[in-house]
Amino acid sequence: MTLRGRDFLSVADLDRSELLAVLDLAREIKAGRWQQRPLAGKFVAMLFQKPSNRTRVSFEVGIARLGGTAIALGEQDVQIGVRETVADAARVLERYVHLVVARLRHHADLSELARFARIPVVNALTEIEHPCQILADLLTIRERFGSLENRKVAYVGDGNNIAVSLSHAAASVGFQLRVITPAGYEPAAAGGLVLVSHDLDAVEGADVVYTDVWTSMGQEAERDERTAALAPYQVNAQLMARAPQAIFMHCLPARRGEEVTDEVIDGPASVVFDQAENRLYAQMALLALILE
């Protein structure tokens, strides 16, 4: 299986066999059974308009382990759409590097970057999707349960980019996703094996309970309104008791005491730091298959 030269802007860009191939290779890399260096002599530009901890470190370490060189560019370095157009930035970068990893505010800018660059572009987060995080999540679920098919995932809270990317993953690999959210906070994309509910009873029977922050970057002005609407959807011990067999997931960083309590995120069901670790292996697998 190869993804040579492909963009990865959305989980929907990979079909089921391709998605599973990324997870299979990630497992081999994590186990130390695959140690090739397909990025040797290659350069990756990393564009960051938003702050980053896990994304930047996991990508830089992964690129180095694959033999490549990462060049981190902050918002003031490139200023796409301000100092120069997105199209011009794309045409310049393609002359220097072999792939672009972009963490941008607007998905439309990411799509334009990919349209004009003649090199692969990987989505490291936009307001619409967070596909690399979902690769790590799927790897984590598979590690815990052995398979993804027919698993029940309950996502509780704001129907943000995580919920959208999970929706695409559910459609691709065949797990059941329940997005449990107040009215007005539903995800932009849902269908197939995705149930959208406002009722917390939908958590019952879940194998995974997943949440994310209630106020994402760029939504700070809505913080009070969002907190009031989402407060009943906090993941706490009482909610987890409705799915006693479930693991707890969060893409981090977490606002402890808001969307999740310390008791849950630090409890025995929590796999949040496994998720964070698996960002490294999932992204290494993705880049290896794109640039091999």
pLDDT tens, 25-66? Answer: 999 999 999 999 999 999 999 999 988 999 999 999 999 999
Other beta carbons within 10 angstroms of residue 109's beta carbon come to 18
The tokens describing 8, both together, are 């990865």
Q: Is residue 155 part of a domain?
A: yes
Q: Is residue 3 part of a domain?
A: no
Q: Is residue 22 part of a domain?
A: yes
Pairing between strand 176-180 and 194-197?
A: parallel
At 192 the pLDDT is 61
> Do 157 and 250 fall into the same domain?
yes
> Do 173 and 253 fall into the same domain?
yes
At 59 the pLDDT is 98
At 138 the pLDDT is 98
At 83 the pLDDT is 84
> The domain containing residue 187 runs over which residues?
133-276
Question: Which are the contacts of 243, defined by CB distance < 8 A and separation ≥ 6?
Answer: 154, 203, 204, 205, 206, 207, 209
According to DSSP, residue 99 is labeled E
- Answer yes or no: 130 catalytic: yes
> Model-level pTM greater than 0.75?
yes
> Do 180 and 220 fall into the same domain?
yes
Q: Is the CB of residue 60 less than 8 Å from the CB of residue 113?
A: no
- Answer yes or no: 212 catalytic: yes
Q: Is residue 200 part of a domain?
A: yes
The tokens describing 220, both together, are 């700070």
Domain count, the chain: 2
At 193 the pLDDT is 72
> Do 55 and 187 fall into the same domain?
no
Among the listed residues 142, 190, 165, the one whose alpha carbon sits nearest the alpha carbon of residue 21? 142
Q: Is residue 4 part of a domain?
A: no
> Do 107 and 149 fall into the same domain?
no
At 220 the pLDDT is 82
At 166 the pLDDT is 97
Q: Provide the greatest CA pair distance for the chain.
A: 55
Question: Could you say which of 7, 137, 212, 250 is catalytic?
Answer: 212
Among the listed residues 80, 76, 131, 134, the one whose alpha carbon sits nearest the alpha carbon of residue 108? 80
**Using CA atoms, how far apart are residues 66 and 59, in angstroms rounded to an integer?**
10
pLDDT > 90: what percent of the chain?
89
Q: Is residue 48 part of a domain?
A: yes
| CATH number of the structural domain spanning residue 101 | 3.40.50.1370
Q: Is residue 2 part of a domain?
A: no
Question: Which are the contacts of 152, defined by CB distance < 8 A and separation ≥ 6?
Answer: 175, 176, 178, 205, 206, 207, 208
Q: Is the CB of residue 178 less than 8 Å from the CB of residue 156?
A: no
**Using CA atoms, how far apart are residues 147 and 128, in angstroms rounded to an integer?**
27
> Do 125 and 228 fall into the same domain?
no
Tens digit of each residue's pLDDT (9 = 90 or more) over 64-112: 999 999 999 988 888 787 889 999 999 999 999 999 999 999 999 999 9
Among the listed residues 224, 200, 206, 203, the one whose alpha carbon sits nearest the alpha carbon of residue 214? 224
Question: Could you say which of 7, 109, 151, 251 is catalytic?
Answer: 251
Residue that the structure tokens 């059941």 belong to: 176
> Do 100 and 212 fall into the same domain?
no
> Do 271 and 285 fall into the same domain?
no
Question: Which are the contacts of 245, defined by CB distance < 8 A and separation ≥ 6?
Answer: 207
> Do 166 and 120 fall into the same domain?
no
Mean pLDDT, the chain, rounded, equals 95
> Do 114 and 207 fall into the same domain?
no
Cis peptide before 268 (omega within 30 of 0): no
Tens digit of each residue's pLDDT (9 = 90 or more) over 165-211: 999 999 999 999 999 999 999 998 655 679 999 999 999 999 999 99
Question: Could you say which of 27, 54, 98, 103 is catalytic?
Answer: 103
Q: Is the CB of residue 162 less than 8 Å from the CB of residue 125?
A: no
- Answer yes or no: 133 catalytic: yes
> Do 245 and 228 fall into the same domain?
yes
Question: Could you say which of 133, 176, 234, 283 is catalytic?
Answer: 133
**Using CA atoms, how far apart are residues 57 and 94, in angstroms rounded to an integer?**
23
Q: Is residue 5 part of a domain?
A: no
Question: Could you say which of 130, 151, 168, 226 is catalytic?
Answer: 130
> Do 179 and 89 fall into the same domain?
no
